[in-house]
């Protein structure tokens, strides 16, 4: 793997894990500066807050998680997901997340394993101290997987971010790739 391919694999991880397991190539992405991202994507992605409350505020509705694929290991839960407004409608995010299960217990861990509630909502509802730190922003050409998940009929430039969520001791709670569908400015 070349240095560029390795950088893209890290940028899209854990989404690349799902692509690799299916034998498909990951979509093409271009790393961009947050300041170069067009609106409304910049206000929705370029910040250090959780995406769940950010997207809930944007769409004016609570959101739930639709798990497209789930894989469990003894220590982690991997999910390829859509975030969808309650009551239906088009997805407001496509992505993948690796959650460190051993960092959670009790009802929070049960809700994570249930794969219906977004991690951001669980962190908020259980008052889990954490920090959200985007590591990169990117534009992506949607491939067949992304087009199907987001119900896109044509090609459109999409935008996303790679984010690492840490607890107050600095330990990783989750690593996530978040890609937004076409949005009106």
Mind listing the pLDDT tens digit for each residue in 49-108?
999 999 999 999 999 999 999 999 999 999 999 999 998 788 999 999 999 999 998 999
The whole-angstrom separation of Cα 61 and Cα 114 is 21
The pair of structure tokens assigned to 118 is 């977004």
- Per residue in 15-26, pLDDT (tens digit) is 999 999 998 888
Q: What is the pLDDT of residue 10?
A: 76
- Per residue in 26-53, pLDDT (tens digit) is 888 999 999 999 999 999 999 999 999 9
Determine phi and psi for 29, rounding to 5 degrees. Answer: -130, 160
- Answer yes or no: are the C-beta atoms of 169 and 103 closer than 8 Å: no
Pairing of the two strands 158-167 and 172-180:
antiparallel
Q: What is the pLDDT of residue 7?
A: 59
Q: What is the pLDDT of residue 51?
A: 93
> Residue 2: pLDDT above 60?
no
pTM, two decimal places: 0.93
- Answer yes or no: are the C-beta atoms of 32 and 46 closer than 8 Å: no
> Residue 3: pLDDT above 80?
no
- Per residue in 127-182, pLDDT (tens digit) is 999 999 999 999 999 999 999 999 998 778 999 999 999 999 999 999 999 999 99
* CATH placement of domain 3-180: 3.40.1410.10
The whole-angstrom separation of Cα 39 and Cα 182 is 11
Residues whose CB falls within 8 Å of the CB of residue 100, separated by 6 or more in sequence, listed in order: 75, 76, 171, 172, 173, 174
- Per residue in 104-128, pLDDT (tens digit) is 989 999 999 999 999 999 999 999 9
- Answer yes or no: are the C-beta atoms of 90 and 151 closer than 8 Å: yes
The whole-angstrom separation of Cα 51 and Cα 93 is 9
The length of the chain in residues reads 185
């Amino acid at each position: 793997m070349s240095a560029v391919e390795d950088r893209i694999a890290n940028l899209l991880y854990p989404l690349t894990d799902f692509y690799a397991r299916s034998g498909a190539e990951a979509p093409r992405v271009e790393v961009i500066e947050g300041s170069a991202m067009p609106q409304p994507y910049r206000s929705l992605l370029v910040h250090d807050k959780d995406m769940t409350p950010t997207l809930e505020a944007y769409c004016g509705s609570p959101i739930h998680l639709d798990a497209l694929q789930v894989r469990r290991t003894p220590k982690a839960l991997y999910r390829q997901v859509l975030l969808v407004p309650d009551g239906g409608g088009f997805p407001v995010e496509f992505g993948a997340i690796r959650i460190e299960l051993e960092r959670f217990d009790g009802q929070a861990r049960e809700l994570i394993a249930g794969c219906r509630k977004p991690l951001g909502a669980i962190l908020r509802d259980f008052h889990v101290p954490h920090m959200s730190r985007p590591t990169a922003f990117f534009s992506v050409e949607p491939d067949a997987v992304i087009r199907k998940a987001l119900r896109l009929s044509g090609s459109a430039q999409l935008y996303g971010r790679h984010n690492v969520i840490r607890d107050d001791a600095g330990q990783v709670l989750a690593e996530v790739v978040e890609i937004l569908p076409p949005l009106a400015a």
